[in-house]
Every structure is written in C-alpha cells, then in structure tokens.
Structure 1
Amino acid sequence: MRLHRNLVFATIDALSEIFNDGKYADKVIEKTLKRDKRWGSRDRSFIAETTYDIVRWKRLYAEIAEVKEPFSREDLFRMFTVWCVLRGVKLPDWPQFEKAPVRRIKGKFDELSKIRKYRESIPDWMDQLGEKELGEKIWTQEIHALNNQAPVVLRANKLKTTTEELAKKLLDEGFETSNLRNYPEALELKERANIFKTKAFQDGLFEVQDASSQRVAEFLNVQPGMRVVDTCAGAGGKTLHLAALMQNKGQIIALDIYGNKLKELKRRAKRAGAHNVETRDIDSTKVIKKLYGSADRVLIDAPCSGLGVLSRNPDAKWKLQPEFLEKIKETQLEILEKYSKIVKNGGKLVYATCSILPSENEKQVQKFLKTEAGQDFILMKEKKILSSASGYDGFYMALLEKK
C-alpha cells in the first residue's frame, strides 16, 4: 500500500477533531469525506477505515507512541506511525516519519499485549467493570470480539421483496452478499461498500440493521392487526421491522423524546412503504398517559451504555463515563415503570438494550418486577447475545407478559 499525502493529512485532521474536540467519529468522517470530490471509493474507505482503526486502538497506540492527550499534530503522526508499523504499511520518506523507531514500536507492542486493558485498548474503569460484571473469562472474550470491525448486515424489507430477490438485485448492481443461517431476513455484505447509493436502497428494499438487532422485533411476537407502541423508537430501525412483520396491518405508534429522529423515521417509513406507522413526540407526560392500558405489544429499546455495539462505535469507549452509566440505569428503571403501563391486560412487553452488562439487563428486569408497576408482569423468557458467540452486536432482550 502506498500512502497518499492528502489522504493521510485528512485522516490526521479527522483524528484531531475526534480526540481533541470530542466530536463523534461518524459525523467527522462523513464531513471529511466531502472534502475532495476527486477522491474515489478506495480513497474514501482508506480515510474512514484508518480513522476508525486508530480511534479503536487509541490507548494502545498512544502508549506505544508515548504521547498523552490532548494530542498535538506531531503526536497524531506518531500514532499514525504505530498504525503503519503494526499493519505492515511501508512508511513514506516524509519529514513526519523521519527516524521512526520501528523496532521499539514492535517490542513495545509485544510487551503491552500481555496486559488486557492495553491489548484491547480500553479505559481502566471499563476493564474493571467488565470483569466484575461478566467474570474474567467472558469479559476477556467479549471485549476482544468487540474490537473487531462490525460486518455490514442488511435486513430485507418483506413489504417489498424477499431475501433471495434482494440478493439478486444487489448482485446486478455489483454487490455480493451472503445469507445468514438462522436470520431469515438478513444478508451480509461480502465487502464493505457504500450501499446507500444503490437503486435497491432508494426503492426501500432493505435497511442496514445488525443481525442481533433484527432479533428484537421478532422477540415481540407481533401479529397483523395489533396495536403496538415502540416507546424509544429513535430513527426507527426496529419500528420498520415491526411494520414488515405486521404486513402493514394494525397500528404502530412510534414515540421518542427527539423530534428530529422521528422526522427521519417518517422519511424511512415512506421509503420502506410502511403505512401503519404514526409518530408522536414525547413532549409531555400526557403523551404516555393517553396510551395507558391500550397496547397489545410494547417495545422498550432502552437507552443504555452501548457496550454491545463498540465494534461499530469504537469512539464510545472514550466518550462513556462511569457517572453516565449510573445515571442511565436510573433512567432505564424509570422508563420501565412508566412505559409498562401502556400494555393492556394479557399484552406483552419487550425490554431490550444493546449492552452486555447484567446491571443494565437482567438485574434491571428483576428490579422492575419488584416495583408496584412490575407486580402485574411475569417474565416469559430472556435472551442474551454476546458478540464473542454470535459474531454480531451484543444485545439483551426480555419478554414480559401482563397478567
């Protein structure tokens, strides 16, 4: 691989914004890729993948490069040098790479690889917490799996196509996919690519949705004609899946506290041909109270630490703080108590998170069952998905029935 100056400089600029200005990696990369119209798809993927790689391994690379935050431009070039050496990329003879200590980098890597928090490049507190909650063996396997780059998985929109038809259409557009055993609507891209430019996407034939995330709507066991409330709908990945499972029959009410996310959901629903979705902003407690006792099914895809999706959001390792975790656990319980009241007698509720921590998952459900609101419910079943076992995102879901 030959390094091109403008691509390397764009990567360094992006890293500076992510590390020093605390900006979100996906937003920074999206903006960076618009900088030069002449860049081809290979150039763009170099910038995106290299930036994500260095974000993912920030702690390890900074330790090897002997640099500390905030990183100067020179520090970022030193970290980039580490990336090159460990990836076997030939260093160019630019002033920034003069006297690169190649042997020392390799030696330091070997030495630090013996210590999990450096080897897996995570903050001390996260390493301690993961071990405490999951035990040393599972945490070691899990954090290792979460450092792999996430595959790109699509969900065929059954309102418009079948998995087989979609695979054929994508192949006609030059995209190879493979079927996933045990995931009836999923296709995995064989090579990472910008799939959003395809006619198949513009025609609403699929959504990008991780295989584990596709399990959540299935878990709710919806039927056509039901009244379903998706309480933390966001931009609606799971809402659209529910609409497809309900064959557009019945009603889905998508709620969220962020109006801009619901706008995006409306746009996506239109493209997907999902006509049974209605969005409502949670701008007061009245919105929830109006729905009490009215739904056959309720989905609570709760806000969480996101530790199960680190492979697709590596910068979350550095943004997440222990204080946030304590706060979010309080929020999860409040949401469960409040939104569970929407379920009608005999109806069902799914509580789901993209976290792997028992304190956000099964322990929250047990706590909820002991509350006044929770006494009306029984736990039917729960499912824990670990990244190390599935190869996809870490997820948790619990199905509760109202007596």
Structure 2
Amino acid sequence: MGPREIAFQALLEIYGGRYPKGALWQTHGELFSTLSPRDRSLAIRIIKGVLEEDRILTQLLRSLTKEKATRLDKRVELLLKIGLYQIHFLQKIPPHAAVDETVAIGKKRISQRACGFVNWCLREAIRLKEAGSLHIEAEKTGPKAYPRWLISHLERVLGKQDTMAYLREEGLKDYLALRTNPMKISRDELQGILSHLGIWWEKGRLTPHAVIIKRKDLGLIKAPVLEKGLAQVQSEASQLAVLLLSPKPGECILDLCSGLGTKALYMAQLMENRGVIYCVDKDYKRLKVLLKESQRLGIKIIKPLVLDITKELTSIKINFSKILLDAPCSNLGALHRKPELKLHMHPKRIDALSKLQLEMLSAAKKLLAQNGMMLYTTCTISLEENQENIKRLLGMDRALDIMDLRDFDPIIPNHMVDPFGFGRMIPHVHRTDGFFYALIKNRERSSYDQDCAILTCRKLFEA
C-alpha cells in the first residue's frame, strides 16, 4: 500500500472509534514499515492534517455537495477529506496528482460508482479554488476548531489567555526529544554524532539527558542512533517523572501502567542495570514489545507482569519503597501531537478516567512500604484527573502525605510547581507535553509485612 492508502486505513480506524495507543507508527507498525521515510512522513502528515482540519474539511464538503457531509457514506466522506486536505493544505503536491491517487484508492477500497463522485467533487474543488469561489466560514469555536466543551474545560484550568496560546501553538509538533542512554553514551557524545550527520539539534532545557531534534529528521537517526540503543524518543516531561522518583542501583521498583516501558527503560539505565523493576500492564502485546526492547538493549532487570491493576494487584502481597503510577488519562497535555482527541474525548470520558485513576491509586497505595514514595503522573492538565484525584486519595487514607516538589529544586524548578506542591508542565510554556506530578509518601506500615527483596519478588512473579 502507498502512503495515501495507509493514511486512509489508519483514519478509518480512528474515525471508527479505535483510539491509537502510542504513536501512529507504533499502532500501525507493520503498515508504516513498508514505506520509505519520505512516504511515511507523507502518510503521517495526511493523517494528522485531516484530524486537525476536520471541521474545515467538513465545511468544504458541505459547500461542494450542497448537503451535510454526514449523509455521505463514511468511507467516501473520509476519502474526500483526504483529497481535499492535499488540495488545500499540501502546496507541494500537484492538485491533479492528489485527485488521481485518491480516486485510485476509491476504486480499490470502495466501488467504481463512488469513484465517479469522488473524482467530480475533487476536480470541482480545484476549479472553485482556482476561481477563488470556494469560501470557508471563519471558525467560531476557537483555534484549530476545537469543540466548545474542550475550550471551556481548558479555560477552567489555564485561564482564557493561556488556553488560546496553547491551542494556537504550532511549533511543538515539529520537534521531539531524544533521551540519551547513559549506559552507552553521554549527551555531549550524542550531540557530536548528530552534528556529524548534519542534523540540527539543541540541548534539552529540562533534563540532563535530553536532546531536541526536528521531527522530520527522525528517520535519519534510526540506524546510527536508535537501532544502536544510543538514545530513545521520550519527551522531557516524561523523563522528568523518572528523575523525580530518583531510582538507585539495587532498588526494587514497581512500575504500574508500564505500556511500552519508556520510563522503565530509563529507570533501568539510571540503576546501571542493577536491582529489579516490575512492569505491570494489562496489555500483553505492549509488555512483549517492552521485553523485546529491554533484551535488545541488554537490560536484564525488567520483569513484565500482565495484571489488571484495579482487580488483580492485591495478588502482590509485598512492599515497595518506590512506585511509579503513570495512569491512563485524557491526554489533554498532548493535543499538539494527538489531534484525534477532539474526535473521541468528551466530558463523560474524562469522568470515567478520573474514577479509574482513583481506583488505581487506591490499589497501589496498599503496596507502598512505610516511608515509601509513589509518584503519580498523567499527561493531562485536567483538574479532575490530577489535583482533585489526589485530594480524594488523601481523604481516604490519613497516613498519606504529599511531598512538596518545591523541595526538589533543581530537579524540577520551583516555577513548575504549584502552591500545593504539585508539579505541572504546560506545553506552550515549557515546550514539552503537558504533565502532572504528585509525589505521595506513606507514613505508616503497609498492608503487607513482607518487604520487597529481589529474590522474593523474582520467585513470586515467576511462580
């Protein structure tokens, strides 16, 4: 399949309600692996562009068809949006080439009859655009046409001015952060390699192992950097979470909701491959990817465990001095790279996530040793999922305290900590994903008497 057909396939799944876990090239890895770096870049640009400009493209469809776009067959509607996006937003693609390629997908994936309609609509769009007769109404709901409820939700947290600044932010999606593997290379050495390859870079501003590059250069560093295990893609906000937990060689750490294990791999490197990290997730496939990646990097201390945290965590009847809970969330701190959120996220979904997060916190605290620390993080800026959840947890268990992150300067500068001691990253201010950090300490004895010894844990999990 070509880049446009892969974009069509991915968008069919996203519009159909399948929410991609992680990056698009991870969720659809087999499809993207068949493309050249240039074609993969085009496919991702079409996918994200169609999602970002969904309302404008819907307006264009209504202008062309003289009826609501929702009356169209969903596959035809999507194909038209892909064609219109190329015609109106990708200036380097000749319009007639965009039409021909889009119609070819219709012949293969829909029907000959549908292709005639798609062909007419797109060629009419070109004619009207060249004549200056195709007008788009100004968006009334805010930057990039986000839903009204979402703008109101963000304004309650950030205020109107910062909400508008965040939603207007365009630059963040063009850059990404690399995290140096300190077991193999220093940041200065990585920067030297990037310079030798002719790749633009700048030193990370928030963490000691971060290097910022342009997203378009990711394909150029795959073989000389990523495949050799010299670095990994990880936002600075995510790196900071690991630094706040401060993993040390020889420790036994519980990583809940590990997913693909980006934070666990960083912890293992800081621990110099000594100790043990138990990575818990209910998604077997993601843990399998983590295990394969840890083996490739020569990391031997990661032990994956498939468990539903809210139902099965009580089977671990031992204490941990350090727990990381990176809970599933609304991802409202990553709108700049997850445009599909405005299709799938809604207030009821945020309420459901908030309840799930509190259940996870309640289950995890039972495994926290006396004077142990649990770091709760999300990549959202929603009050319901962050500050309000922590307040509910403290109301349920008086033995828990919040550690004031203002005492952790310079790991996290004081201007990134709110008056209650919680850490907050705001995308357009700190130039990274929006993140929330709460460090929780247990003053009393745990529910279980057995401390976390590496040998005991290994027997328990491998039994």
Could you say which TM-score interval applies, normalised by the shorter chain?
0.7 to 0.9
| Mapped partners of 1:7, 1:225: distance in 2 | 47
2:408 matched residue in structure 1: none
| Mapped partners of 2:147, 2:18: distance in 1 | 16
Q: 1:287 to 1:15 in 2, by over 3 A?
A: closer
226, 240, 248: which one aligns with 1:223 = 248
| Mapped partners of 1:228, 1:88: distance in 2 | 50
1:116 correspondence with 2:141: yes
375, 380, 383: which one aligns with 2:404 = 380
Query: CA shift at 1:351, angstroms?
Result: 0.5
| Mapped partners of 2:54, 2:36: distance in 1 | 27
1:85 correspondence with 2:88: yes
Query: CA shift at 1:29, angstroms?
Result: 5.8
Query: CA shift at 1:79, angstroms?
Result: 5.8
Tell me if the contact between 1:54 and 1:83 (Cα under 8 Å) persists in the aligned partners. Answer: no
When Rg is computed on C-alpha atoms for both structures, the one with the higher figure is 2
Query: CA shift at 1:229, angstroms?
Result: 1.1
Q: 1:304 to 1:15 in 2, by over 3 A?
A: closer
Q: 1:27 to 1:77 in 2, by over 3 A?
A: farther
| Mapped partners of 2:153, 2:367: distance in 1 | 34
2:452 matched residue in structure 1: none
Query: CA shift at 1:334, angstroms?
Result: 1.0
| RMSD value, Cα | 3.0
Tell me if the contact between 1:240 and 1:272 (Cα under 8 Å) persists in the aligned partners. Answer: no
Q: 1:302 to 1:18 in 2, by over 3 A?
A: closer
Tell me if the contact between 1:152 and 1:192 (Cα under 8 Å) persists in the aligned partners. Answer: no
- List runs of 5+ in structure 2 lacking aligned partners: 63-67, 100-118, 406-421, 444-463
Matches within 5 A, 1:299-314: 299-314=324-339
Aligned residues: 389
Query: CA shift at 1:241, angstroms?
Result: 1.1
Query: CA shift at 1:239, angstroms?
Result: 0.7
| Mapped partners of 1:177, 1:223: distance in 2 | 30
297, 302, 316: which one aligns with 1:290 = 316
244, 253, 258: which one aligns with 2:278 = 253
2:451 matched residue in structure 1: none
Tell me if the contact between 2:330 and 2:353 (Cα under 8 Å) persists in the aligned partners. Answer: yes
Instruction: Map Cα deviations across residues 317-362 of structure 1 (whole Å, 9 max, x no partner).
Output: 2122332221111111111111012221112111100101111111
| Mapped partners of 1:361, 1:11: distance in 2 | 34
Query: CA shift at 1:230, angstroms?
Result: 0.9
Query: CA shift at 1:365, angstroms?
Result: 1.0
Identical pairs, percent: 23
| Mapped partners of 2:301, 2:191: distance in 1 | 26
Q: 1:80 to 1:20 in 2, by over 3 A?
A: farther
Q: 1:291 to 1:248 in 2, by over 3 A?
A: farther
- List runs of 5+ in structure 1 lacking aligned partners: 1-5
1:206 correspondence with 2:202: no
1:344 correspondence with 2:374: no
Q: 1:229 to 1:196 in 2, by over 3 A?
A: farther
Tell me if the contact between 1:16 and 1:73 (Cα under 8 Å) persists in the aligned partners. Answer: no
1:61 correspondence with 2:57: yes
| Mapped partners of 2:325, 2:36: distance in 1 | 41
TM-score normalised to structure 2 length: 0.75
1:3 matched residue in structure 2: none
Instruction: State the one-letter code of the partner of 2:182.
Output: K
Matches within 5 A, 1:1-400: 8=4, 11-12=7-8, 14-20=10-16, 22=18, 24=20, 26=25, 30=29, 32-33=31-32, 40-66=36-62, 68-69=69-70, 71-73=74-76, 76-77=79-80, 80-89=83-92, 90-92=94-96, 95-96=119-120, 97-100=122-125, 101-102=128-129, 103-105=132-134, 107-108=135-136, 111-112=138-139, 115-117=140-142, 119-145=143-169, 149=173, 151-172=175-196, 175-190=199-214, 191-194=216-219, 197-282=222-307, 287-292=313-318, 294-372=319-397, 375-381=399-405, 382-400=422-440
